[in-house]
Structure 1
Amino acid sequence: MKTTKSLLQTGALTLTLMASSVMAAVSVDEAAKLGASLTPVGAEKAGNADGSIPAWTGGLPQNAGSADAAGFLTDPFANEQPLFTITAKNVDQYKDKLTPGQVAMFKRYPDTYKIPVYKTHRTATLPAKVIEATKYNATHTKLVEGGNGLEDFHSANPFPIPKDGLEAIWNHITRYRGGSVSRFVTQVTPQTNGSYSLVYFQDEFTFRDQLKDYDPSKPSNVLFYFKQRVTAPSRLAGNVLLVHETLNQVKEPRLAWLYNAGQRRVRRAPQVSYDGPGTATDGLRTSDNFDMYNGAPDRYDWKLEGKKEIYIPYNAYKLDSPKFKYSDIIKAGHINQDLTRYELHRVWHVVATLKPGERHVYEKRDFYIDEDTWQAAAIDHYDGRGILWRVAEGHAQFYYDKQVPWYTLESLYDLVSGRYVALGMKNEEKQSYDFSYAAGESDYTPAALRQEGVR
Structure 2
Amino acid sequence: MNRTVQKGCILALSLLAGHVMAAVSANEAAQLGTVLTPLGAQKEGNADGSIPAWTGGLPPDAGAVASNGFLSNPFANEKPLFVITATNAAQYRDKLTDGQMAMLQRYPQSYRIPVYPSHRSATVPAAIQEAARKSALQVEPINGGNGLVNFEKSGYYAFPIPKNGVEVLWNHITRYVGGNYWRSYIQVTPQVNGAYTPVRFEEEQVYPEQVVDFPSDKKGNMLYMVKQRVTAPARLAGTVILAHETLNQVTDPRMAWIYNAGQRRVRRAPQVTYDGPGTAADGLRTADNLDMFNGAPDRYEWKLVGKKELYIPYNSYALESQTLKYDDIVAAGHINPDHTRYELHRVWEVVGTLKPGSRHVYSKRHMFIDEDTWQIAEVDHYDGRGQLWRVAEGHSLYHYKQQASYLAVEVLYDLMSGRYLALGMRNQEPSTTQYGLQAKFFDFTPAALRTDGLR
Same fold (TM over 0.5): yes
**Is 1:449 matched up with 2:436?**
no
**Structure 2 gaps, min length 5:** 1-6
1: CA distance between counterparts of 2:357 and 2:192? 35
From 130, 139, 146, the equivalent of 2:128 is: 130
| Corresponding residue for residue 4 of structure 2 | none
1: CA distance between counterparts of 2:12 and 2:203? 49
Which deviates more from structure 2 when the two are superposed, residues 234-243 or residues 202-211? 202-211
Give % identity.
62
> What secondary structure does 1:437 align onto?
coil
**Is 1:44 matched up with 2:42?**
yes
Question: Residues 145-174 of structure 1: CA distance to partner in whole angstroms, max 9, x if unpaired?
Answer: 221111111221010000000100000111
Q: How does 1:385-404 map to 2 (within 5 A)?
A: 385-404=385-404
> What secondary structure does 2:267 align onto?
strand
1: CA distance between counterparts of 2:134 and 2:305? 26
**Is 1:110 matched up with 2:140?**
no
8 A Cα contact 1:23 1:143, kept in partner? no
2: CA distance between counterparts of 1:200 and 1:286? 18
> What secondary structure does 2:320 align onto?
coil
| Corresponding residue for residue 423 of structure 1 | 423
Q: How does 1:16-415 map to 2 (within 5 A)?
A: 16=14, 20=18, 23-153=21-151, 154-214=154-214, 219-415=219-415
- Following superposition, the deviation at residue 441 of structure 1 comes to 1.1
Question: Residues 373-420 of structure 1: CA distance to partner in whole angstroms, max 9, x if unpaired?
Answer: 001000000011111000000000001111011111000000000000
- Following superposition, the deviation at residue 437 of structure 1 comes to 1.3
- Following superposition, the deviation at residue 70 of structure 1 comes to 1.4
> What secondary structure does 1:126 align onto?
coil
8 A Cα contact 1:209 1:216, kept in partner? no
- Following superposition, the deviation at residue 208 of structure 1 comes to 1.6
> What secondary structure does 1:220 align onto?
helix
2: CA distance between counterparts of 1:412 and 1:15? 47
2: CA distance between counterparts of 1:17 and 1:223? 25
> What secondary structure does 2:220 align onto?
coil
- Following superposition, the deviation at residue 37 of structure 1 comes to 0.6
Aligned residues: 446
- Following superposition, the deviation at residue 211 of structure 1 comes to 1.3
2: CA distance between counterparts of 1:128 and 1:256? 33
RMSD, matched Cα: 1.7
8 A Cα contact 1:315 1:396, kept in partner? yes
Question: Residues 183-220 of structure 1: CA distance to partner in whole angstroms, max 9, x if unpaired?
Answer: 01000000000000000000000122221324667643
2: CA distance between counterparts of 1:23 and 1:269? 36
In structure 2, what residue type is equivalent to 1:397? L
- Following superposition, the deviation at residue 329 of structure 1 comes to 0.1
2: CA distance between counterparts of 1:310 and 1:398? 19
1: CA distance between counterparts of 2:431 and 2:12? 58
2: CA distance between counterparts of 1:151 and 1:38? 24
| Corresponding residue for residue 4 of structure 1 | none
> What secondary structure does 1:244 align onto?
strand
- Following superposition, the deviation at residue 426 of structure 1 comes to 0.3
**Structure 1 gaps, min length 5:** 1-8
